[in-house]
Amino acid sequence: MEDGRERIQQQIEIYFEKCKALADYLTTHPEISGEEVNSCAYIVEFLKSQGYEVTTPYAGMPNSFLAVHKDRLNYEGKKAVLMCEYDALPEVGHACGHSLSCASSVLAGLAVNEAYKDLPIRVDLMGTPGEEFVGGKIIITDNGGFDGYEFAAMAHMNNENQAFFKVLASNDRYITFHGKASHASASPVEGRNALNAARIYMDAMDMWRQHITPDCQLHGIVEYGGDAPNVVPEKVTLDYYFRSATLDGLHDLNAKAERCVEGACMCTETTFEIQQRYPDYGEMFCNEFKAHFLQELFALTGRDSIIPDKPAGSSDAGNVDVKIPVFHPMVDITNGHKEIVLHDKKFAELLQTPQAYQGMKDSALILSMLMYRMATEQELFDQIKKDHREYRHL
């Protein structure tokens, strides 16, 4: 393994400046989810210049790509894929670190392909836009874009070194209550108050909080609550997000919420409509064996890493994990300053600092060595695949 690391580190140093320039371009030209036209074009042209054959768009997802090195086009063995995220956030740019994450995947792909041109696994690069909004990986997954791959990987920038990204399954419900308008003073008896139905529903869901498992979360807002205080609201809309440790738990929470909607309407003689506007986001599986393997990879960079005990947020990478194992380490670029959090302007300000570029290098080494070991250690590969199949009931 020492020989493998040295060869890969040499290539990381060789390709670093080029990938640093790629990261800097993305950092200084942020494009939000759904608008990554120039970001995608820049990455695609860069990969073409490095000997890749690129398909863009890929698997029905705008601003996406699949890059296969020309030397490996005819390879018929196992395939793995490094995912590249490059969408930014409104107002705060790449405060989620996607510019560095993308460059890390590209750097890892270049390094491992050059260091081991005959590696018994083909390592492709896939552009997966729309992580922050829409869920680009979900669309790519549903359209078969990950079919034929053994596993997928990427690194995410963070304020702490974590062996993996512990996320929750998640989805949404857009709930519209319909009542009957009337004058709130002159003829209130004639009305049926949609806002009352919404309030009962919201109270009912709050009452459920003490009885649902600790991993479950729900958050909602009143998007539209009526036009004027003297008119009984005939229409009220709520926008709710639900989360749970597993998809099964998420769907159970959804069922509870829908019964609460029905009950609220029975109480108020109103009606309702429920829409799900975005797809279900899956959870990511990582057991002790997989986590310890990732910690070994962190150690190669001289970094200690933790195994997170609490989930945080959701990611479309979970939907990829529903099909194939996903590796998703989180790499600190803050020098341990946990008060600097993702999606904050202060995090975005770190993206062109020495510690950020070191995080990019270290991420590339983690990903490259992950590919190398999964390709050359059959027992490791078999155990990762077996554990994933058992968890997913595949």
* 149 plus 27 within the same structural domain: yes
Give the pLDDT confidence score for residue 191 in this predicted structure.
98
Residue 143: give the domain boundaries: 2-167+281-392
Residue-wise pLDDT tens digits, 149-180: 999 999 999 999 999 999 999 999 999 999 99
Using the predicted structure, report yes or no on whether residue 299 has a pLDDT greater than 80: yes
Using the predicted structure, report yes or no on whether residue 3 has a pLDDT greater than 90: no
* 57 plus 185 within the same structural domain: no
Q: What is the mean pLDDT of residues 78-90?
A: 98
Question: Which of 257, 275, 293 represents a domain boundary (last residue)?
Answer: 275
Give the pLDDT confidence score for residue 290 in this predicted structure.
98
- The tally of CA atoms less than 13 A away on the side-chain side of residue 133 is 10
Q: What angle do CA 347, 19, 119 make, to 5 degrees?
A: 120
CB 89 within 8 A of CB 99: no
Diameter over CA atoms, the chain: 85
Residue 306: closest CA among 287, 292, 317:
292
Q: How far apart (Å, rounded) are the C-alpha atoms in residues 205 and 273?
A: 17
Question: Which of 275, 305, 336 represents a domain boundary (last residue)?
Answer: 275
SS3 221: strand
* 22 plus 136 within the same structural domain: yes
* 125 plus 19 within the same structural domain: yes
* 242 plus 331 within the same structural domain: no
Please report, to the nearest 10 degrees, the dihedral formed by the alpha carbons of residues 237, 242, 248, 251 taken in order.
-10
What's the order of all strands across the beta sheet hosting 151-153? 52-55, 65-69, 122-127, 79-84, 151-153, 326-327
Give the pLDDT confidence score for residue 311 in this predicted structure.
86
Q: State the pLDDT confidence band at 2, using cuts at 50, 70 and 90.
A: low
Query: pTM for this one?
Result: 0.92
Give the pLDDT confidence score for residue 313 in this predicted structure.
85
Sign of the alpha-carbon dihedral angle for 241, 247, 249, 254:
positive
* 145 plus 68 within the same structural domain: yes
326 bridge partner residues = 152
Using the predicted structure, report yes or no on whether residue 89 has a pLDDT greater than 70: yes
Residue-wise pLDDT tens digits, 179-220: 999 999 999 999 999 999 999 999 999 999 999 999 999 999
* 225 plus 158 within the same structural domain: no
Give the pLDDT confidence score for residue 4 in this predicted structure.
81
- The tally of CA atoms less than 13 A away on the side-chain side of residue 114 is 19
Using the predicted structure, report yes or no on whether residue 361 has a pLDDT greater than 60: yes
Residue-wise pLDDT tens digits, 4-53: 899 999 999 999 999 999 999 999 999 999 999 999 999 999 999 999 99
Q: Which residues of 193-203 are buried (b: 16+ CB within 10 A; e: fewer)?
A: bbbbbbbbbbe
Using the predicted structure, report yes or no on whether residue 1 has a pLDDT greater than 80: no
- The tally of CA atoms less than 13 A away on the side-chain side of residue 301 is 26
Q: How far apart (Å, rounded) are the C-alpha atoms in residues 224 and 201?
A: 15
Residue by residue, DSSP assigns 155-220 as -EEESS-BSS----EEEEEEEEEE-B--BTTT-GGG-B-HHHHHHHHHHHHHHHTTTS-TT-EEEE
* 182 plus 120 within the same structural domain: no
Residue-wise pLDDT tens digits, 365-377: 999 999 999 999 9
- Dig out the tokens for 267 from the structure: 């109480």
* 11 plus 156 within the same structural domain: yes
Question: Which of 251, 275, 299 represents a domain boundary (last residue)?
Answer: 275
Residue-wise pLDDT tens digits, 246-262: 999 999 999 999 999 99
Q: Which amino acid is at 295?
A: Q
Domain count, the chain: 2
Mean per-residue pLDDT over the chain, rounded: 97
Give the pLDDT confidence score for residue 133 in this predicted structure.
86
* 242 plus 297 within the same structural domain: no
CATH of the domain at 175: 3.30.70.360
Using the predicted structure, report yes or no on whether residue 58 has a pLDDT greater than 80: yes
Percent of the chain with pLDDT strictly greater than 90: 97
Q: What is the mean pLDDT of residues 286-299?
A: 98
Residue 143: closest CA among 74, 85, 81, 57:
57
* 156 plus 208 within the same structural domain: no
Q: What angle do CA 164, 169, 173 make, to 5 degrees?
A: 150
Query: What's the Rg (C-alpha) of the chain?
Result: 24
* 264 plus 294 within the same structural domain: no
What's the order of all strands across the beta sheet hosting 217-224? 217-224, 235-244, 169-178, 271-275
Strand 151-153, strand 326-327: pairing:
parallel
CATH of the domain at 51: 3.40.630.10
CB 133 within 8 A of CB 32: yes
Of how many residues is the chain composed? 394
